[in-house]
Structures are given as structure tokens and as C-alpha cells.
Structure 1
């Protein structure tokens, strides 16, 4: 009888497992398109500046504008995940993204471009948080980091594929045509997602043996927990670099280092390729360490912090080198190691925060670290526009970023202690209930 029940359970579990990986693949594609949307302006940076006759400072303003309502979107739309199923919420977000890109299919003014990027930023604000929350809901705690890493890899694969394709489209036709390609691909994804996407099963999958049961603590308590604060700071410093990679790195390769548009489009693929592989590798490593009983303080916190600090050190290093292979190696590391850290970082949040509160908490985290997206493009634009020569301006801006990531990342790492914080939250909730 027990063997029969076991077989039935296995049969019943199989569709959920295959569905979990199908959803993981669709969410990978979702973030692929999300970051292709972000990156296209960087690929077309020089063309847009020439076409609209705008300065580096104004181009930095456009890139910064994307993040002006990013935080509001992350909080407001992220909170809707407790009321609206992720299946319909993500489909709606994709349709909004498409609408914001339609005006860019033809000649536009600086004001229209600015407005479109502001609205797109609002709609894309909760994308990573919702995708991560969704994929975490399909897997037990000890197995979340790998699928989370795969979804995160989509953020790097998007620009990786977009770099040669959209650069070719821009050079062959125009930067307007690049937005047309993204509109078509976004529409196709929305149709496939509505047909095959699905919300996670209603039940909460059990944690591995020995894991502290998560408490449904108040938001105020969760937001002041050491692990949540530490991850917020780590992702803030990491996102400073991520924003510059999307907004300025393609322009830097052409305008600052002298590579032609096609060569820059190929070189930009390197940090995105390493970031994609790193995200999956870091997720696998975190799962492997956790499964072998290594403290999550190490498998989540130290791993995340180490990647971000390594990225910061590499960024300082490439500003000290002249154009050539060694510099490109450090550029690749500087803009890929930090990207590999996101999946592990958000998995640490899942170790501490109850599923009922996870969506809004991740939305708050995205809102916080998106502030780096507001500051970073403006600051680099200021350095470039006011330096005696552009190469010097880029060097100072990137060096400052590297120092912030190294020092800030090292300090924030020691706040991340998932087992301790989960146990404290559980004890506090039990005491309050008593």
C-alpha cells in the first residue's frame, strides 16, 4: 500500500516539477527582454546624442530618468502581488512596456524620449522582484538558488543577445528600428506567458530538515532585520555598477576607449556572457554549499559580498590600465561578478521572509537599490561632461564606483546572517502571540 501511495505521489509531483522548470524558462525570457529594453538606449547612445543634438549630461539625464519612478513602481506594483496572480501581473507589465516603446518607432523630441523612459521605468520597477518571488514559490528553500540564478541570468543574456543584434539593426537601419524589434518580441512573450504561465501551487513546499520555520513577522520588523538590511546595501552597491553597464558601458567603449560601434557591440557581450554564466554558477554553488550543511551566512552572505567586492576591485583596476586585453579582462570582471550575486542575495531574503510577505519585501528592496540607478548615470555624465577630456572623466567616475563597491560591500556582508535572523523572528513572533 505504501509503495502505491509513493508512486501516486511521484506521479502527482511530476507535473509540478516540469511546470516549475517551464515557468523558470519563461521568467528567464521575461528578464531577458526586460534588460534588452534597458540596454538598447546604451547601444544607441552616440546615435541618439547626434540625432537629438544632446550633450553627455542630457544623455545621462535620460538614463537616470528611467529610475525616477522605478522605486515607486517596485513598491506599488510589487504590493499588487498579494492581490493579483503573478501570471496576469507579469503579462500586464509586458504590455505596458510595449506601449511605452511605440512612440520611439519614429522621430521624437528629447521630451518625448524622456517621458517614455520614465513610464517604462515605473512599469519595469517590480520586474526582477516579481520574477524572483515567482520562481522561489515553485521550489523548496534548499533548491531555490539555482533556478533563481537561471532567471537572473536572463538579465545578462538579454543585453548579450541584444548587443550584436540591436547594434546591427541600429547601424543598418536606425535606433528607432531597434525598438520595433523589442516590441515584436515582447508581444510574442506575452502571448506565450498567458498560455503556458501559471501561478505557483497554493501549498508551501517544506524546508529542508533543520531549517527554522519562517514567521509571518510585521513588515517593519522584517525591514530592520540584519539580513534584509545587509542585502539591501549589497544590492545597492551592485546596482550602481549594473546601471553603468547598461547606461554607459557601450558609450564608454566607443567614446572613451575609441572602439568603433560594431567592435564595441561585440566587446559588450563579454561582461554579459560572464555574468550569465556566473549567475547560474553562483546559484549552483550556493545550493551545493547549503545542501552540505555550510552556514547560509557563508553560502548566501559571504558569497554575495565576495562577488560584489571582487567586482569593485576589478573596476578600480581597469581604470589604471591602458586600452588592451588586460584592461578588457578587468572590465569584464567588473561588470559581471556583481551581476552573478543577485540570485544568491535574493535567495537569502527567501530564507528569512515568509512567502506571504516576500513579494512586497522584494519590491521594497528593488525600490531601495534602484536609487543607485538614479544617481550613477547622472554622476558619470557629470564627470565626463566636466573633465578636461572624456577618458579622464570616465576613469574618475568608474574608479569612484569601484571604491564604493569594495568598501561598502565588505561592510554590508557581515550583516547577512539568515539562520540567526530567521530564528530571532520566529522566537519574537511566538512571544508576541503568547
Structure 2
């Protein structure tokens, strides 16, 4: 091979820029389809307890506070497992991680089928939360192994869109199962769906070429791989304290607050406070999910277009996620006091559907400043921090409802607190997310890590 007299170019973090690995379009989109389906099952698992809340509370004679604790128990190990698996992802393939997760989802549905009681409901939700904590971040990490950075907008939107699609599909299907065949039948259906997905994934879900872990392993076996050259490692403390990562965690926190509230309490609120039938409540939840899906499939690819036209990431994806959370917070504060049916439903859609935009965008902004070899771990940390509201929001809401004179006065208080949290976190995201600035600062500091 001919030698070059000039030094190789370097990237923002000081690593050598090498020839990109080959992009396999067909395989990349097969994996994308599998990961979208993975997210559909993932969010159907999350939604089932909320959809079955009324019959479960009636059958087991449990209070709003107890139900809130059951719902929050899902997040007891959720953030911790997301953090731990994030670091494990640098040593274990995404294929193996996602396979183990989905098999665990199957097992987690079984306790309540054996004995329907509060302890078994909690046990199943804790195990399910532990297995689903890393799901969003690790499936995004697996997806990024198949796409170069400039092609990640649409796949990212589709991955998160799988969450909205999961709610869109599961709300009517699971409601039908719950209404016509009992709430246990929904748990059986989800256990089967998880097991089937795991078996298919083991056959097709291999890791892609844009993977520093694979590159390093290849180097250890004596094969030359361009990705293995001079990949920097930045101290995690320095990465996590950048404004971009802190702002991204903040936007995810606000979006997660609305999401956990929606999954735990929105079905019950629609039925008991707005007088909807189970079918009407399911239709409303599906409509909100459809709205989120449209936003996700529109906004994330638009961010790629804006970046291609020279708009900085601070404004194209950073400000966008903060504004989305703020918009949802304003709607959250308004809809409990709206009497007109149509405006109230529109505000409910904005409150619980708009924040979803922040989820793919916060991964995209974080990915811009994090070395690829550390991306899985940082994604795990960001996901663990951003999803902490799941521990608080459902149980706090149950406590507020039981403590109020009537449920009709308890719900508005919970929604106002949620609105305040979302407004504060959204504003923080707008102010702090600056990927270009933070990447330049890391490069200027000459950080290589150890």
C-alpha cells in the first residue's frame, strides 16, 4: 500500500479519522425492524398494569395509594439495571443482552398468573423493571452499530416510535383481552410475545460494523481494523458533568415523568374522572400514541435535515427537546381545568404525547460528544438518571389522590406538580445542551482518559 506523507486528520476529541466501515443497508433495516418490534413489546409490557388498573383494584380491593406503590415498584431496579447493563455493554454483545432481557420479560409475567395478589404483582413488576431498565438505551446502542452518525435520525425516531406504536397497538388489543377474557389473559399474551421475539432475535440480531467493541476484539486477535485506531477514552465524571449530558438527562427526566404518569394513571383517570368506557379510554390512549408517533417520525428526521443545512445541534436537537417538554408541561397544567371536551382532549394529547420527542433527541445529543466505545455506558447512565421519575410520579400521585377530599381534587394537584417538574427540566435542557461547544472543550483539554 502507498504511504502518505501527511498526518491523518483528527476528530473533535483528538482521535484519528479513519475510513468508515461498510454500511449494509439491508441488514441495518432488518435489525431496525426487530428493534422497533422490541420496543412495541417493551411498552405493551409497561402499559398492561395501567390498562388493567380498574379491574385489578376492584378484584383485589386495593387503594389508590397501594396501586401507586405497585406501579412505582416497576422502577425500583429500573434505573440501577440500566446503569449496570450500560457498563456491561462494553464487554457483552448487544445480541446477547437483548436476548436475555426479553426472556426475562417472559418470566416476569408469570408470578401473577400463579397467585393474583399484591406481593406477586410487585414481584413481577420489580423483575420486569429490572429487565426493561436497559431496554431503550441498549436497543438504541445496538441500532447505532448498524448506522453511521449521519444516518441515525430516522432509525432513532423509529426506535422510539416503537414505544408509541406499542401503546397505540396494545391499548385496544390488551383492553379487549382484559374486558372479554379477564386481565390475566393480557399477561399471558405478553409473555408469549416476548418469548417469540427473543427466539427470532437470536437468529438475526448480530452486532453491526459500527462497533468499537468488536473492533477492539478484532485488534486483539491480530486483525487490523480502522475503528480500533486511537479511540479516545474520556473520564466518565468529565463527560457526565458537561452541559450537554446534564441537559439531556434533564429533558429525559421531564419526558419520563409524563410517561410514567400516563402509563400508571391516565387509563384510570379517563375512566373514573371523565366517565369513559374501557373502549373509549383505550381509543384516547391510542390517539395520544399515534400523535407521539407522528411527531417522532417527523421531528427526528427533520433534525438531520437542519444539521445538513448548517443548523447547530444546540438548536436543531438540543432546544427542540427542551421546548417539547415545556410544551407538554404547559398542557399538563391546563387540561384539568378545561371543561370543554374537545379542547381538554387536545390538551391531554399535548401533555402526554409531546414530551416523547425528547427521547430520541437526547440520545442524539449525548452521542455527539461521547466516544463510541463509551457510548453504551453513558447511554445507560443517562437512561438511569432520566427515568428516575418512575419511582416517584406513580406513588406520589396515588398518595395525593387518597389524601385529597375527593379523587376529583387529587388528580389536578398531581398534574400541576407534574407540570412544574416538566417546565423546569425543559428550560434547563434548552439552556445547557450545547454539543458543539462541549465537544470542542473536551478536545481542547486534550483528554484521553484511562
TM-score, length-scaled by structure 1: 0.92
Contact 2:145 2:210 in 1 (8 A): no
Shift of 1:399: 1.6
**Could you tell me which of 365, 372, 377 is aligned with 2:394?**
377
1:136-165 per-residue CA deviation (whole Å, 9 max, x = no partner) reads 222222221221010000111111101000
1:360-411 per-residue CA deviation (whole Å, 9 max, x = no partner) reads 1111111112221101001111111111221221111112211221233113
Alignment of 1:261-280 (within 5 A): 261-280=278-297
Shift of 1:323: 5.5
Q: Distance in 2 between matches of 1:191 and 1:46?
A: 34
Match of 2:341 in 1: 324
Contact 1:226 1:416 in 2 (8 A): yes
Indicate yes or no: 2:68 matched with 1:60: yes
Indicate yes or no: 2:178 matched with 1:170: yes
Secondary structure of the residue aligned to 2:268 is helix
Contact 1:142 1:290 in 2 (8 A): no
Match of 2:416 in 1: 399
Q: Distance in 1 between matches of 2:145 and 2:321?
A: 21
Contact 2:89 2:377 in 1 (8 A): yes
Indicate yes or no: 2:282 matched with 1:259: no
Shift of 1:123: 1.0
**Could you tell me which of 116, 122, 146 is aligned with 1:138?**
146
Contact 2:32 2:155 in 1 (8 A): yes
Contact 1:243 1:373 in 2 (8 A): yes
Alignment of 1:180-195 (within 5 A): 180-195=188-203
Contact 1:215 1:422 in 2 (8 A): no
Indicate yes or no: 2:44 matched with 1:36: yes
Matched residue count: 414
Contact 2:73 2:125 in 1 (8 A): yes
Indicate yes or no: 2:379 matched with 1:362: yes
Match of 1:345 in 2: 362
Shift of 1:346: 0.7
Q: Distance in 2 between matches of 1:264 and 1:45?
A: 12
Shift of 1:27: 0.7
Match of 2:429 in 1: 412
Match of 1:18 in 2: 26
Residue 202 to residue 150, structure 1, CA distance change in 2 (3 Å): closer
Contact 1:106 1:176 in 2 (8 A): no
Alignment of 1:193-212 (within 5 A): 193-201=201-209
Shift of 1:43: 0.3
Indicate yes or no: 2:249 matched with 1:243: no
Shift of 1:203: 5.7
CA-based RMSD: 1.8
Shift of 1:432: 8.0
Contact 1:216 1:429 in 2 (8 A): no
Shift of 1:13: 8.4
TM-score, length-scaled by structure 2: 0.89
Alignment of 1:75-86 (within 5 A): 75-86=83-94
Secondary structure of the residue aligned to 2:24 is helix
Indicate yes or no: 2:294 matched with 1:286: no
Secondary structure of the residue aligned to 1:283 is helix
Shift of 1:103: 2.0
Indicate yes or no: 2:279 matched with 1:233: no
Q: Distance in 2 between matches of 1:338 and 1:391?
A: 25
Shift of 1:80: 1.4
Residue segments in structure 1 that go unaligned for 5+ positions in a row: 1-11, 205-212
1:238-282 per-residue CA deviation (whole Å, 9 max, x = no partner) reads 111010011111111011211111211111111111111111211
Q: Distance in 2 between matches of 1:404 and 1:421?
A: 26
Contact 1:385 1:393 in 2 (8 A): yes
